[in-house]
A and B are shown apart, each in its own frame.
Chain A
């Protein structure tokens, strides 16, 4: 592929449309149409090489038409995903394979069958995002370098047919008030360069890099979002913790120890009904409106060389009032207040009585999360826990089982051993349940219930955040740079007793014309004609 040498002597890369230096059109030389100033007529790879299969892939992704298609496809897919709630927003206990049909009928079923209940995590949606990223990288290389070359090599003196084929142009024979003109241009922040009596006044060239900067920001953002799937970059763990409890915070074990958290108290505040500000709204609302969710916690850390399993030696790091919108940050972790369960069963207290005399023999308390195997009441009197279901359910219509590990509906089978019944008597106790198996001499009765609030917290670590933040920042800088400033140029060329004057802006022609109007009023320079 040969380079093109212009009559001004500059050597241009193959495919150049307008000489980088003097601006002489190298293609469509005899036309009088306005020249296409996009990328300054530089050789854009995708417009030049079209044979190879690599060229074809390159050209595919650098085509703005394809780029727009990718954007539109992502847009449409995103919209489809909002027709019905995504799986993460349906009740956690619901079964998606039946939920969508039950709630939304046939359309819901189709939605589920097409896999749209998890649309934003689907492979094809990921592929679309990847295509966007690839396209952004390729298009930036494809156009960025030629644009840089062309803007760097541009010369002050331009070829006549470059001048008269600009959109804003005029040819005059009257003399120009050059000194005034220069002042007027400089006042408008133009940089004026002179060469053999010809001028190039230019401003805001940096705005041409706006799209490249913003695309770079987007690429970074997409990379950041993708990095989440690499190990150790991202952590998202729930932590349910009862008042008074101290637990290891999942996922926070590092080389110098493991973090522990104690939940001192959970607080939920609601708006007072006589709050004068909100009286009207509160009267209408039937439920209390919460004003604050808060867990008062203490963060601890173990020693560096702690042994898993052994009882850890904890050092206090800090106390914190963990509220919605105000997470606790430590190392690279954040702890969020996200949920709570009010008044969960914590412990049952029982009394053991001799039936005949109603005499109390002793009392014991069963911690429902961690019950003991045996409770010694006094000499000769023992209660053993034979069977325990934390959250009882009946399986296959007869056998008992536990739904989960939350002591929401506990049921226990106890054995009472007393000096006069060495073999023991059996009793079943639960919420509003108290049976005896056989003719018992002793009776166990509930004497107290202890409730505790449970805080629902989330432990997060997201090492991708810095990249996301930087990507977003660069994107914003780029968009503003490209959209709030325009690259404007004015060329003056002396041809004997004539002046050729041309002007170009990459956008906002109204503003450019108004600026020229202003210059013309100040200096008497004729107003350029719009040839479009």
Chain B
């Protein structure tokens, strides 16, 4: 029994790792598939596109293997902590990409969807990966159904962001720096911050870096916490209990919860690392990143991309509503005695729902197609990511398990 579980858990991690590598290769293949101005109908475009698509499907199946083996090992659907949920969300994003590429065959979609899904999976892998038991409230079939369907809906809605983002890079004039070019660069910068976070986390873990602080909380209670990234920012008036690299500055006094200074430190590291990555890329490219990508997208018809973006919302909105609201309410009625309780996580699901409802109405009657619609999709994705990550890390509610 013990051995079998151990093998399953081990197999599961290996499969996730392999899926990750396959996604990485698929990304590169898709990048090669983009044609440029000179040869519009190049044969290689189709060929590389097909290979990239095939690899995405194989990667998805591998990750599904991870999901199933982990389910067997733990005895419950692996969507119960942040690592499991975030990687599952990444998998659903790949799945949504596979479906939409199946309809529209747009290689550019792969060039953006695959690396962003990769980033999300890698990000999820930075959280503790132990197989943890479920507390009684989480032992419900409806919970599994709710979480998986919600993630699928969010995955599909994310593709509308991918397409919207492509649209923006494609149409926004890059001759001159403008508010729009700056916004696009900031999106790229934020994505690079996630990459930065992953690099710093993985790096610190590889060197087994750890340092412990002890300090006094607001009520005078003694607090202690272990940093796993080099301490740039220590707790306010904190005492470092070892002689590792240690804090350049103290956190302001109001950032004082048990985990708050550590989170601030991580946050600052991510911003810095993102800045370094962005700076390096700019230095190599010698122009804005979007300006460097844009020529590769000139063969795309903007209306076509706009339609993909809208279609993703049209498909994703009902799935999201079903998973994140309807199934969630059914579960909440059984577990918490009421279908709705204005818990932060619930509220943010409602906000996401209202946002995309507003999007549909903007498009329908205000004629917000194309660029405006693409910007809305960017905001929608920010809301989804906020609900996925920030609400769990910052605003804790009933769902603080995740």
- Report which A residues bind B (CB closer than 8 A): 38, 64-65, 67-68, 71-72, 74-75, 78-79, 81-83, 85-86, 88-89, 105, 120, 236, 271, 275-278, 280-282, 284, 289-293, 323-327, 334, 336, 338, 458, 460, 465, 468, 472, 475-476, 479-480, 483-484, 507-510
Contacts and interface: CB of A to CB of B under 8 A. Distances in A.
Q: Taking each of A65, A275, A281, A460, which has the highest tally of chain B beta carbons within 10 Å of its own beta carbon?
A: A281
B131 interface: yes
Interface string B299-327: 00000100100110011011001100010
Nearest to A325: B140
Given A277-B73, A278-B131, A323-B136, 14 more contacts: A64-B364, A64-B365, A68-B362, A71-B358, A72-B358, A78-B347, A82-B344, A277-B5, A293-B136, A324-B139, A325-B139, A484-B315, A507-B314, A510-B304
Contacts of A72: 354, 358
Given A68-B361, A275-B133, A120 B1 contact: no
6 interchain residue pairs of minimum CB distance: A281-B132, A64-B365, A324-B136, A281-B130, A280-B130, A276-B2
A284 B130 CA distance: 10
A483 B136 contact: no
A282 B133 contact: yes
Interface of B: 1-2, 5-6, 73-75, 104, 130-137, 139-140, 254, 304, 307, 310-311, 314-315, 317-318, 321-322, 326, 329, 333-339, 341-344, 347-348, 350-351, 354-355, 357-358, 361-362, 364-366, 391, 395, 397
Contacts of A86: 342
A85 B134 CA distance: 25
A71 B361 CA distance: 10
Nearest to A80: B347
A458 B337 contact: yes
A390 to B, nearest CB: 28
B342 A468 contact: no
A287 B170 CA distance: 54
A472 B326 CA distance: 7
Contacts of A75: 351, 354-355, 358
Contacts of A480: 318
B255 to A, nearest CB: 11
Contacts of A277: 5, 73-75, 131, 133
A506 to B, nearest CB: 10
11 contacts: A64-B364, A65-B365, A71-B357, A75-B354, A78-B354, A88-B342, A276-B6, A280-B130, A290-B135, A291-B133, A324-B137
Contacts of B339: 465, 468
B335 A324 contact: yes
A59 to B, nearest CB: 14
Nearest to A81: B347
Contacts of A81: 342, 347
Nearest to B331: A325
Contacts of B355: 75
Contacts of B342: 81, 86, 88, 120
B81 to A, nearest CB: 9
Contact of A483 (B140, B317, B338, B341): B317
A278 B132 contact: yes
B311 A508 contact: yes
Contact of B131 (A281, A323, A510): A281
A63 B165 CA distance: 30
Contacts of A38: 365
Nearest to B81: A281
B361 A64 contact: yes
A274 B318 CA distance: 44
A277 B318 CA distance: 36
B377 to A, nearest CB: 16
Contacts of B1: 276
A38 B367 CA distance: 12
Contacts of B74: 277-278
A256 B317 CA distance: 47
A65 to B, nearest CB: 7
Contacts of B135: 289-291
A484 B318 contact: yes
Given A64-B361, A479-B318, A483-B318, A327 B307 contact: no
Contacts of A88: 341-342
A472 B339 CA distance: 12
Residue among B136, B254, B329, B395 with the most chain A CB within 10 A? B136
Contacts of B310: 507
> Among the interface residues A38, A68, A74, which one has the most CB atoms of the partner chain B within 10 A?
A68
Nearest to A275: B133
A79 B343 CA distance: 11
A271 B133 contact: yes
B136 A78 contact: no
Contacts of B395: 82-83
A293 B135 CA distance: 9
A475 B348 CA distance: 20
Contacts of B133: 271, 275, 277-278, 281-282, 289, 291
A68 B354 contact: no
Contact of B361 (A67, A281, A289, A327): A67
B317 A479 contact: yes
A324 B318 CA distance: 29
B210 to A, nearest CB: 15
A146 to B, nearest CB: 15
Contacts of A284: 130
A506 B273 CA distance: 47
A271 B133 CA distance: 8
A508 to B, nearest CB: 7
A291 B136 contact: yes
Contacts of B333: 465
Given A75-B358, A277-B73, A479-B317, A65 B131 contact: no
A292 B347 contact: no
Nearest to B308: A510
